[in-house]
Amino acid sequence: MDAIEKLRATIGTESAWFREYLLKIISDADRLVHPDWIKYNDEIPTGINNQFRYTVTGIDIAISEKESADGTSMVLRW
């Protein structure tokens, strides 16, 4: 229990502890990414003055191969 409490003290917020270590669903108000923020496009948007500006990608690789592990996620923004 001491080791668990020591680890818990290193986690930034209570909601992060519940999500990441206890796998408990928390309030939508505490979410970092809301489902309605996710958009899908069939074409690359052209941006300002029809000029493509940039692409940014973030990936959580979730490298565990256990069936109970979270899946890999990717966010792409252009």
For residues 11 and 77, the model is more confident at: 11
Task: Let me know: does 4 contact 10? Beta carbons within 8 Å.
Answer: no
Measured CA to CA, the distance from residue 70 to residue 59 in angstroms comes to: 13
Domain boundaries, given as residue ranges, for the chain: 2-77
Mean per-residue pLDDT of the chain? 78
For residues 63 and 1, the model is more confident at: 1
- 60 forms beta bridges with 73
Give 51-73 pLDDT, tens digit per residue: 777 778 888 877 777 777 777 77
> Looking at the whole model, is its pTM more than 0.75?
no
pLDDT band at 24 (very low <50, low <70, confident <90, very high): confident
Measured CA to CA, the distance from residue 39 to residue 57 in angstroms comes to: 14
Measured CA to CA, the distance from residue 14 to residue 62 in angstroms comes to: 22
Measured CA to CA, the distance from residue 2 to residue 8 in angstroms comes to: 10
pLDDT band at 33 (very low <50, low <70, confident <90, very high): confident
